[in-house]
Amino acid sequence: MLRGVGPALARKLERLGLFRVDDLLFLLPLRYEDRTQLVKLGALEPGCRCLVTGEVLLAEVVYRGRRNLLVRIGDGSGQLTLRFFHFSRQQQAQFQIGVRLTCFGEARKGSVGIEMIHPEYRLLREDQDSAIDATLTPIYPATEGIQQGRLRSLTDQALLMMRDSPPAELLPPDVRETLDLPPLAEAILYLHRPPADADVTRMLEGKHPCQLRLAFEELLAHYLSLLELRSQARLQPAQSIRGGEKQIARFIAQLPFELTKAQQRVIAELLDDMAQPHPMMRLIQGDVGSGKTVVAAIACLNAIASGVQAAIMAPTELLAEQHWRSFAEWFAPMGIEPAWLSGSQRTIARRDALTSIADGSAKLVIGTHALFQEGVTFHNLALVVIDEQHRFGVHQRMALREKGVSDHGYPHQIVMTATPIPRTLAMAAYADLDTSIIDELPPGRRPVATIALPETRRDEVIDRVRSACLAGKQAYWVCPLIGESQVLDFEAAETSYDMLTRALPEIRVGLVHGRMRAVEKERGMQAFKEGQIQLLVATTVVEVGVDVPNASLMIIENAERMGLAQLHQLRGRVGRGKTQSHCVLMYKPPLGQLAKTRLAVLRDTTDGFVVAQRDLELRGPGELLGTRQTGLPDYRIADLVRDADLMPQVQVAAEVIRRSPDRATAIVRRWLGDTDRYGKV
Ligand code: ADP
Ligand code: MG
């Protein structure tokens, strides 16, 4: 469709996500260069990227280790040297004395005054004025093998085509007016070819009204699609679950603690939802240690009491097994034994589990993602609980939901996350879910005292571990996370384990890492839980959900390499008992600025919401939500951190636009394509 696009170029364009002419319009420049004015050679400052013009005064090839072509130009106000390391004979011949040329490049201080290395240049005919551009020059995101010049000429064509058939303006005028956003076609043209006087600083910040115009529509598209998903889900039938009050009351009465107000409120919300004849889809947010598990248990009990099945899915075997243990203990007095399902299970055990799940004798099933795999058939699954939801994608969430589809409709769904998500981000990411927040920790919890120490003070830290363990406390020693590699993780853990067993002969040290078999891991954790092990050396397998209240000291090695959210999760393993807990963040000096800021955040607060907000600012939403796993869509233009403040307005606009379904569909289609990236409900 566009001139000059053959199959090879088309493939390269596809790598940039460009499939149609319209896509080019939505590929925004990363930055701009100013070729709209000439800078006098006498006024050139090092560091300035600019357009200059001049006459060749001298051209010579010199040898400084390698061949250099130096071209001296002058314009009466001053001189500039152009330096080329790669040049052809023809090129060399072009630079005749007296020839005029225009150059664009970065001025820098060189050995012979100010110079430009490999500038873009154009020779001028005698009668020709130096050509300055009418608009700023866009610099597009690069992809291998596509030159900026090519991208510019392609967008030139696309912009020309846009003049004749502009993309539909899908934002209603009143929405645009309230927010003072320019029309779509105008915004697109402006961003691709900004006028010479455009506010470039603002554009680089991504805060220009033209950028906001596009970001707004994109956020809106994603939000609308989630709302659609949500309303479709709500239309479906589900079993109304009620009548478990008596059993629940009895269960609560025999708990060794009293539920917090926040837990009670969330439980009421869950029971209320479950009583509806439509599927609940609720997200429970609660900081580490806020007691989400018992809340989930009560929802499960509610289901079981009315004769239907409940399932709990956790992201790791370790965590799933721990849930299994807690639930088995809690529910034993009621004669309910949870069934177990995991990937590493032996065949016979698995077969038994599958049978009891299928015939309904297993009322409660706990496991990993093995739960929604093929071959698992539930008898009457009516409640699905997904723990640490950020580890699972929307698709996995939906897949488990499918398992529960029956004549009675869809199962109710609870997803739980310990990663508190700032409100605006939650709006964008989880608009398909209702949200409950457990915003209170059980009483008596004392904030974990956190310090950061350079690893040169390791000996002191080891002494500290020794005295804590000798005083009857327990400690975690968490080993460096080395990239993505489980092998390296495990080697690092073994090394630390050897070092610590030698340094602490009087302490019982254990080891758990990601490469151990599930049973071994569990054996290690169990020994730690029962106090046979005093110091547990672990990789980040302890990150999610492990609960050993007597552990009150945590050492984290190479903390500077870990993300805030992860450190917060890890730290949440201590501070669960009555005693004051401590966390030592060990780092390899010198610390970079970002790492310094991160460690300071942890030192200064134990509030998960504050940590999350700072994490969002420092690292972006992908890390926080675990984009890689969640399948949270990539945004083309919007940035969930930078544009978070648009979300409340997006929400308002979405309510208006949903009243015109055609318009809503068109917006979603423009930004998300025809394929529904969230999967069908
Ligand atoms: P998380 O929200 O991080 O999953 P857990 O459910 O693992 O937290 O609970 C952390 C610990 O707090 C557990 O030992 C649990 O038994 C305990 N707990 C939960 N609720 C209360 C409460 N209301 N009072 C005291 N302890 C509680
Ligand atoms: Mg938990």
269 and 376 housed in the same domain: yes
Whether 648 is covered by a domain: the verdict is no
Q: What rounded mean pLDDT belongs to the chain?
A: 86
Q: Are residues 313 and 406 in the same domain?
A: yes
Nearest ligand to the CA of 284 is 1
Among 254-263, 339-348, 401-410, the range with the most confident prediction by mean pLDDT is 254-263
In this model, does residue 27 exceed pLDDT 50?
A: yes
List b or e across 590-614, with b for residues whose CB sees 16 or more CB atoms inside 10 angstroms.
ebeeebeebbebbeebbebbebbbb
Give the bridge partners for 310, in sequence order: 364, 383
Side-chain half-sphere CA neighbours of 43 within 13 A: 9
Same domain, 147 and 283: no
Q: Are residues 479 and 412 in the same domain?
A: no
Q: What is the per-residue pLDDT for 458? A: 94
41 CB-near residues (< 8 Å, 6+ apart): 52, 54, 73, 74, 75, 77, 78, 79, 80
Percentage with pLDDT > 90 across the chain: 51
What pairing do the DSSP bridges indicate for beta strands 364-367 and 309-313? parallel
The answer on 149 and 126 residing in a single domain is no
CB-ligand 1 contact for 291 (6 Å cutoff)? yes
Helix (H) or strand (E) holding 602: helix 593-604
Q: Give the tens place of pLDDT for each residue, 401-434.
A: 777 788 788 999 998 987 667 777 777 777 888 8
Task: Count how many domains the chain has.
Answer: 4
Whether residue 270 sits in one domain with residue 404: yes
Residue 93 and residue 71 share a domain? yes
Span 649-678, pLDDT tens digits = 999 999 999 999 999 999 999 988 765 444
- Residue ending a domain, choose from 386, 407, 438: 438
Task: Tell me the pTM.
Answer: 0.72
Least confident of 55-69, 276-290, 387-401, 455-469: 387-401
Cβ-contact 382, 241 below 8 angstroms: yes
> Are 306 and 320 in a shared domain?
yes
192: left (phi over 0), alpha (psi -120 to 50) or beta: alpha
Given this model, what pLDDT does residue 677 score? 42
| 507 within domain boundaries | yes
- Tell me the two tokens of residue 89: 């004979």
Q: What's the mean pLDDT in 165-190?
A: 92
Domain boundary among 605, 634, 649: 605
278 and 383 fall within a common domain = yes
587/547: higher pLDDT? 587
- Least confident piece of the model among 10-24, 160-174, 402-416: 10-24
**CATH number of the domain encompassing residue 498:** 3.40.50.300
- Whether the pLDDT of residue 240 is over 70: the answer is yes
Note the pLDDT of residue 545. Answer: 52
Determine which residue's CA is closest to atom 14 belonging to ligand 1.
Answer: 547
What confidence category does residue 146 fall into, taking pLDDT thresholds of 50, 70 and 90? confident
Do 347 and 375 form a contact (C-beta atoms < 8 A)?
Answer: no
CA distance 139 to 135: 13
Does the structure show a pLDDT above 70 at 635? yes
Q: How confident is the model at residue 578 (pLDDT cuts 50, 70, 90)?
A: confident
- pLDDT at site 390: 62
Q: Between vectors from CA 516 to CA 512 and to CA 517, what angle results, nearest 5°?
A: 125
- For position 487, what pLDDT does the model report? 59
Counting atoms of ligand 1 from 1, which one is nearest the CA of 294?
6
Is 458 a domain residue?
yes
Per-residue pLDDT tens over the stretch 225-239: 888 888 888 889 999
Residues lining ion ligand 2 (Cβ < 5 A) are: 545
**Assigned domain for 193 exists:** yes
The answer to whether residue 661 sits within a structural domain is no
Find out whether the beta carbon of 569 lies less than 6 Å from any atom of ligand 1: no
Q: Where is the domain boundary, 605, 634, 660?
A: 605
What is the model's pLDDT at position 679?
38
Q: Among the atoms of ligand 1, which is closest to the Cα of residue 549?
A: 14
**Ranges assigned E (strand) in 243-394:** 281-286, 309-313, 339-341, 364-367, 381-386
Based on the fold, state whether residues 167 and 93 are members of the same structural domain. Answer: no
**In terms of domains, do 85 and 153 share one?**
no
Domain containing 57: what range? 37-132
Verify whether ligand 1 is closer than 6 Å to residue 2 (CB atom).
no
Copy the structure tokens of residue 103.
Answer: 């150059």
Amino acid at 56: V
Q: Is 288 in the pocket of ligand 1 (CB under 6 A)?
A: yes
Q: Which of 15-24, 182-191, 456-465 has the lowest mean pLDDT?
A: 15-24
C-alpha–C-alpha distance, residues 18 and 218, integer Å: 16
Beta-bridge partner residues of 475: 535, 553
Question: Which three-class secondary structure state does DSSP give residue 447?
Answer: coil
Residue 576 C-alpha to ligand 1 middle, in angstroms? 8
> Measured between alpha carbons, how far is 429 from 627 in angstroms, rounded to an integer?
10
Residue 679: inside a domain: no
Q: What's the CA-to-centroid distance between 295 and ligand 1, angstroms?
A: 9
Give the pLDDT mean for 76-86. Answer: 93
* pLDDT score, position 678: 41
The DSSP secondary-structure symbol of 681 reads -
| Cβ of residue 549 lying under 6 Å from some atom of ligand 1 | yes
The alpha carbon of 574 and the centre of ligand 1 are apart by a number of angstroms equal to: 12
Kindly state whether residue 66 falls inside one of the protein's structural domains. Answer: yes
